[in-house]
């Protein structure tokens, strides 16, 4: 069954769903709500100013739509709720104008402005509230709303084959709902109690599969023999001494550990973690050098072309004095250029830098000895395994700028050795961080102007691309307007977000890097990106929406030089939690605090994402379940039950996803 087999989904609808990464029926069924609203009619006579409201009534007039700019519209109409007639305001729903005819029965949800008898809505549903119920709210893009996605999901579920990946013994042990009921209730909950049970079951299944993959990989690696290298450590020390800077003690310890791994007969499988700017890249470069002088090729894979190019420039500069060939392979290269690089990779002992293009079938390595993946959590297990298996038995080094507590790391990466860089390179100044209320915006703008006058650059971060689930949150378009009012006549302003094409994103980042753009308004897509040494300030709006670790990652986009840099957090909520960032710049300490503070989460609040990509699970929030899955999966993998016929689908999933020879 294809997406277009579902009633209402044509070629245009399929393209819209593709923008949400829904490319199959399976993707659609596993595209879960990110929030749940309890739909119960509010008593408008009891509401106070700015209270949340859900109320039904009839449309009184044809809506008026005002276009604020090309991407933002504002629609208004009146609704008769029985006791009074209210004005409804909603953003980016102009496409509903023709359907909202006088007399139509609708339900609106949002915030009630009692002083002006106005409902600032974030959702419009057709029809009245028959009885109190729970509605899932889905992430959307222009061209489809949450209710449209729900209708497609409902039809898809009618013909979907539900396969449980939890062994029956464990389903019985924990008294889980069956797979079909859990999926149905995540999308269309019967009641809060059943919804919690459904979510609990899916969290367990996702984390069980994840830990089963980890244990499967671990079991395969324990028997894995590595390449044996003979490298004089004095040559490594000579290379380090020639660098234009001095390594920190943590960097030295990491280099020593990697050297010992590479010169042993065991296959290296090491995680190198540390804050943005802590100096992981130079450790990786030293590892590539050790590997090169032992006669092997090295490959470094980055998650984006911008980051791959950055690594290429840095590595080529350092290796130029050693006559080491460095090549860059990305998807953007022309066919002729790719063929030339393919030939070099197949015939020469070169260092290869690139994106996922490194694992394409066209790439044949000469004698690959070392594989390094940067921001390794952004690649799937299958992608990493494909790169590994390009060589005979290459050693593996994973780099991550997401510091996590050691006990947590040992759970997630139990099959790896771990090196952590805590200290920052000499000469780096600590980023000054301050929390501001929205009422203090004048002070924030003055701080921005102070940096801009010094010909420095500024990041401005918004948590949303467009108005959707929370009407009171600042978004990219509104911030763009505000920044243009404040600075548009003096400075060039650019906008960057995840819904742009890769080419457009690269163009904006290049312009910012080259100081053509002085203020870059962005979502968190800049969390891992190109170094802009001239950027000395980052301003993060609605900072309460982010976890501390994410804010710390964003803060790491500045302070990439010897200049004093600043991080300004704008929030009227949760300021006590945010003050932790004012007090410390230690990413490991912050990750501990983040882990402790986020707790069990709020079922009916915004779902915060973990480091990995899951449908409902969150590695930090669901840590206790993760530990249980670790124990259960290890026992299951080493039991006869794993090889039984009833678990063949689970076995195929694990063996396919890990993709080991």
pLDDT score recorded for residue 340: 92
Contact in structure between 535 and 517 (CB atoms under 8 Å): no
Return the CATH number of 432-584, one of 3.40.50.920, 3.10.620.30, 3.40.50.300, 2.40.110.10.
3.40.50.300
Q: Which residues pair with 522 in a beta bridge?
A: 461, 496
Q: In a 10 Å sphere around its CB, with 0-12 CB exposed, 13-18 middle and 19+ buried, how is residue 454 labelled?
A: exposed
Cα-atom radius of gyration of the chain, to the nearest Å? 27
pLDDT score recorded for residue 390: 54
CATH architecture of the domain covering 233-421:
3-Layer(aba) Sandwich (3.40)
Strands (E), 358-482: 368-374, 395-400, 417-421, 432-436, 457-461
Pairwise CA distance, residues 201 & 176, whole Å: 6
Pairwise CA distance, residues 528 & 651, whole Å: 34
pLDDT score recorded for residue 615: 84
Residues of the chain with CATH 3.40.50.300: 233-421, 432-584
Phi-psi region of 659 (alpha: psi -120 to 50; beta: other; left: phi over 0): left
Angle 454-583-254 (CA atoms, 0-180°, nearest 5)? Answer: 90
Pairwise CA distance, residues 493 & 479, whole Å: 11
pLDDT score recorded for residue 372: 92
Phi-psi region of 574 (alpha: psi -120 to 50; beta: other; left: phi over 0): left
pLDDT score recorded for residue 606: 28
pLDDT along the chain (661 residues), means of 10: 89 91 92 89 93 95 89 92 94 89 94 95 89 88 87 92 93 95 95 94 93 80 74 95 92 96 89 84 96 94 85 92 92 86 92 86 87 65 52 80 69 76 80 93 95 96 59 70 93 87 84 94 72 92 86 87 92 84 85 62 31 72 87 90 86 72 38
C-alpha distances in angstroms, 487 versus 482, 541, 542?
A: 9, 17, 21
């Amino acid at each position: 069954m294809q997406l277009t087999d579902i009633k209402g989904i044509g070629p245009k609808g399929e393209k819209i769903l593709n923008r949400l990464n829904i490319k199959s029926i399976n993707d659609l069924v596993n595209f879960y709500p990110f929030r749940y609203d309890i739909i119960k009619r509010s008593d408008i006579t009891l509401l106070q100013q700015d209270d949340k409201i859900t109320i039904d009534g009839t449309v009184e007039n044809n809506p008026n739509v005002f276009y604020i700019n090309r991407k933002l519209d504002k629609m208004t109409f009146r609704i008769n709720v029985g006791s009074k007639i209210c004005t409804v305001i909603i953003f980016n729903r102009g496409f509903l104008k023709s359907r909202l005819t006088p007399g139509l029965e609708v339900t609106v949800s949002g915030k009630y402005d009692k002083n002006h008898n106005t409902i600032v809505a974030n959702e419009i549903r057709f029809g009245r509230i028959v009885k109190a119920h729970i509605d899932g709210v889905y992430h959307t893009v222009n061209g489809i709303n949450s209710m449209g996605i729900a209708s497609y999901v409902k039809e898809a579920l009618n013909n979907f084959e539900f396969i449980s990946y939890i062994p029956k013994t464990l389903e019985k042990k924990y008294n889980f709902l069956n797979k079909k009921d859990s999926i149905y209730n995540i999308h269309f909950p019967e009641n809060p109690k059943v919804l919690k049970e459904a979510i609990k079951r899916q969290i367990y299944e996702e984390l069980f599969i994840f830990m089963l993959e980890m244990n499967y990989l671990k079991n395969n690696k324990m028997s894995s023999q590595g390449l044996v290298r003979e490298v004089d450590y004095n040559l490594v020390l000579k290379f380090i001494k020639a660098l234009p800077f001095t390594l920190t003690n943590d960097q030295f310890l990491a280099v020593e550990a990697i050297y010992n791994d590479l010169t042993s007969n065991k296959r290296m499988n090491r995680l190198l973690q540390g804050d943005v700017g802590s100096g992981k890249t130079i450790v990786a470069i030293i590892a590539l050098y050790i590997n090169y002088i032992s006669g092997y090729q090295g490959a470094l894979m980055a998650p984006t072309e911008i980051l791959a190019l950055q690594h290429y420039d840095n590595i080529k500069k350092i290796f130029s004095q050693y006559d080491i060939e460095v090549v860059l392979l990305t998807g953007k290269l022309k066919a002729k250029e790719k063929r030339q690089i393919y030939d070099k990779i197949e015939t020469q002992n070169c260092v290869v830098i690139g994106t996922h293009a490194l694992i394409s079938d066209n790439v044949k390595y000469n004698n690959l000895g070392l594989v390094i993946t940067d921001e390794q959590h952004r690649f799937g297990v299958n992608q990493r395994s494909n790169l590994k298996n390009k060589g005979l038995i290459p050693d593996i080094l994973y780099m991550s700028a997401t510091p996590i507590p050691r006990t947590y790391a040992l759970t997630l990466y139990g099959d790896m050795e771990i090196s952590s860089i805590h200290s920052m390179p000499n000469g780096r100044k600590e980023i000054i961080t301050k929390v501001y209320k929205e009422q203090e915006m004048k002070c924030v703008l003055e701080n921005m102007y102070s940096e801009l006058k010094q010909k420095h650059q500024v990041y401005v971060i918004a948590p949303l691309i467009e108005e959707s689930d929370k009407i009171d949150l600042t978004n990219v378009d509104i911030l763009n307007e505000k920044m243009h009012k404040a600075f548009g006549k003096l400075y060039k302003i650019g906008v960057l977000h995840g819904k742009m094409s890769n080419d457009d994103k690269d163009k904006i980042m290049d312009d910012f890097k080259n100081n053509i753009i002085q203020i870059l308004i962005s979502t968190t897509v800049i969390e891992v990106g190109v170094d802009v040494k001239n950027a000395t300030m980052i301003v993060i709006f609605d900072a309460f929406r982010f976890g501390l670790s994410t804010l710390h990652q964003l803060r790491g986009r500045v302070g990439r030089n010897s200049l004093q840099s600043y991080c300004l957090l704008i929030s009227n909520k949760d300021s006590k939690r945010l003050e932790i960032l004012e007090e410390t710049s230690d990413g490991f300490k912050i990750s501990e605090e983040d882990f402790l503070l986020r707790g069990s989460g709020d079922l009916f609040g915004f779902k915060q994402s973990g480091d990995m990509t899951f449908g409902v699970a969150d590695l930090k929030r669901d840590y206790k379940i993760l530990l249980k899955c670790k124990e259960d999966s290890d026992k299951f993998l080493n039991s006869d039950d794993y090889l039984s016929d009833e678990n063949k689908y689970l076995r195929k999933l694990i063996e396919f996803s890990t993709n080991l020879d």
